[in-house]
Amino acid sequence: MRLVEAADAYARHVRDVRRLSAATVRAYRADLADFAASSSDLELADVDLEHLREWLWQATKRGDARSTIARRTAAVRGFFAWASESGLVDADPSLRLVAPKRGRTLPNVATADAVGGLLDELARTAAAGDPVALRDHALLEVLYGAGIRVSELCGLDLDDIDSERRTARVTGKGSKERVVPFGGPAAAALDAYLVRGRPALLARRDDVAGERAIFLGARGARLGPRAAYDVVSRVLGPVVGSTVGPHALRHSAATHLLDGGADLRTVQELLGHASLGTTQIYTHVSSERLAATYRLAHPRA
């Protein structure tokens, strides 16, 4: 079997059988397509460990991040494990392929005062009644108030919100659902948007039947993650001092929860992390802030 044909079959397998997220499937498909392009003259059965090592070495020489190379390693390992189980290859050439350790960098985090000032400014702008301003205010309040991912926010439908309990039902990675709370400011901003902003945006569409999305674009269709990223980057970038997206609000929410005394397990459940180790990075952020405060305030620091 040709390598590219096998790669396509594996992409369908992880999508339909393993039911990985759409983003993971796209990343794996791109990685395997790149490997197939680098080894276009090879049949699947001809691939050996040295071919895989050379492919990763070329990525290293290009300057690809360690996290990218680690993901590529995972992609080909999964691919050849599947090919071996399916009887497409006699032996798995990736068994001895070693992935680089992922570098752990601290996320961009805005201070609580900075986020509060930003949201207050958005509230003043939204008070004029512009539907896009109302949406942007609600969007940032919900992202920060609930600590959800941008894909989870864009996937919210009207019946996912429980206004009385101030909770939202979101679908995270691996199609796992969880219920997350949000506070009074987010509830107020969301209510103002749903009453005055969303109907105005929806009216810009010719066909509005069946549209259940909460957050809409300027033309009345469901807001996509790319558009939401642009909104957050435009308003949050100057506060953080770098190019950031919606994840910076999620990072900030998690860090501020820990700073306020929330336990790690609670933050893990709120964020929808499968592993506690993923959540633990925020303890390092809090420790950095604690150390900085100590150096500034303690007379013998």
**Domain residue ranges in the chain:** 3-85, 112-296
Predicted local distance difference test score (pLDDT) of residue 288: 58
Annotation says 284 is catalytic:
no
Confidence band of 287 (pLDDT split at 50, 70, 90): low
Digit-coded pLDDT (tens) for 97-145: 877 665 555 566 778 888 899 999 999 999 999 999 999 999 999 999 9
Active-site residue identified among 137, 198, 256, 273? 273
Higher pLDDT: 15 or 241? It is: 15
**Mean pLDDT, the chain, integer:** 84
- Whether 250 is a known active-site residue: answer yes
| CATH homologous superfamily, domain 112-296 | Intergrase catalytic core (1.10.443.10)
> pLDDT: is 282 or 43 the higher one?
43
Tens of pLDDT, residues 48-95: 888 898 888 888 888 887 778 888 898 899 999 999 998 898 889 998
> Was domain 3-85 assigned CATH 1.10.150?
yes
| Active-site hit among 169, 173, 205, 289 | 173
pTM of the model: 0.64
247 counts as catalytic: yes
- Reply yes or no on whether the pLDDT at 169 is more than 60: yes
pLDDT at site 135:
96
Residue with tokens 């400011």, as numbered in its chain: 185
The residue annotated as part of the active site, out of 137, 250, 251, 256, is 250
Among 149, 198, 251, 256, the active-site one is 149
> What is the pLDDT at residue 197?
96
pLDDT per position as a tens digit, 243-281: 577 777 888 888 888 777 777 787 887 778 777 766 666
- Is a pLDDT exceeding 60 seen at residue 227? yes
Span of 30-44, 189-203, 209-223, 234-248 with lowest mean pLDDT: 234-248
**Is 144 one of the annotated active-site residues of the chain?**
no
| pLDDT tens track for 141-165 | 999 998 888 889 999 999 999 999 9
